């Protein structure tokens, strides 16, 4: 029997498809979500609890719904805080020379101070926001920004859980993961960059 590989239900997998998607970019580079828009994929991060098992199907559905309501009420909320690097010197092409300007360093320092306030708790109404780790790409401007932010959090006397500073991760370097709509027809160089960057960026967020 012929071995037929089952296609994933999501992602950029139309390798054999020819032509352009509405004249914009190669149809093979069309990103397909898990579920048709605007439906929400409940197991988007692979951590959705399995259904509560019961002999009776209706009872299983009832117990699962009850469990899910309790999770929404009392469960853990994950915060992912996205921070762009500060203003940097764009006159150089070499990454190691594209460092922060004085304004960029000031922006990073102010961001660090604000994050430190959030981690400690701004006031009684806005209590501590638990931050476990700071992650950063391997680009010079991003690493410099992250270092300044971390140093300005001022958590030396903080009695809560310490915040980890992860090693720079090249997988997080900026790139072009997919095409955006609306947008004009993609140039050949953009198509090439999408083919090059997409697998790396997908790996970074999986």
| Residue the block writes with tokens 């993609």 | 186
The pLDDT, as a whole number, for residue 2 is: 45
pTM: 0.78
Ordered alpha helix ranges (H), the chain: 57-74, 102-120, 140-151, 188-204
Proportion of the chain in helix, strand, coil states, percent, rounded to 5: 35, 5, 55
Angular region, 72: left φ>0, alpha ψ -120 to 50, beta rest: alpha
The pLDDT, as a whole number, for residue 205 is: 80
Q: Three-state SS across 49-83?
A: CCCCCCCCHHHHHHHHHHHHHHHHHHCCCCCCCCC
Mean pLDDT per block of 10 residues along the chain (206 residues) reads 56 76 92 86 84 88 90 80 96 97 98 92 80 95 97 82 92 93 93 95 86
The pLDDT, as a whole number, for residue 102 is: 98
């Amino acid at each position: 029997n012929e071995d037929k590989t089952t296609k994933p239900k999501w992602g950029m997998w139309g390798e054999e498809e020819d032509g352009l998607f509405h004249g914009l970019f190669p149809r093979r580079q069309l990103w397909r979500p898990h579920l048709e828009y605007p439906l929400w994929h409940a197991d988007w991060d692979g951590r959705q609890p399995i259904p509560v098992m019961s002999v009776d199907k209706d009872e299983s559905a009832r117990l699962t719904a009850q469990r899910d309501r309790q999770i929404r009420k009392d469960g853990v909320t994950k915060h992912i805080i996205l921070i762009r690097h500060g203003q940097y010197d764009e006159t150089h092409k070499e990454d190691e020379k594209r460092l922060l300007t004085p304004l960029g360093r000031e922006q990073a320092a102010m961001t660090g101070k604000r994050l430190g306030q959030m981690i400690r708790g701004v006031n009684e109404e806005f209590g501590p926001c638990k931050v476990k780790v700071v992650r950063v790409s391997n680009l010079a401007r991003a690493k410099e920004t992250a270092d300044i932010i971390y140093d300005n959090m001022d958590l030396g006397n903080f009695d809560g859980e310490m915040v980890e500073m992860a090693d720079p991760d090249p997988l997080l370097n900026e790139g072009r993961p997919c095409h955006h709509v609306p947008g004009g027809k993609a140039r050949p160089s953009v198509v090439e960059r999408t083919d090059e960057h997409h697998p790396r960026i997908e790996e970074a967020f999986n």
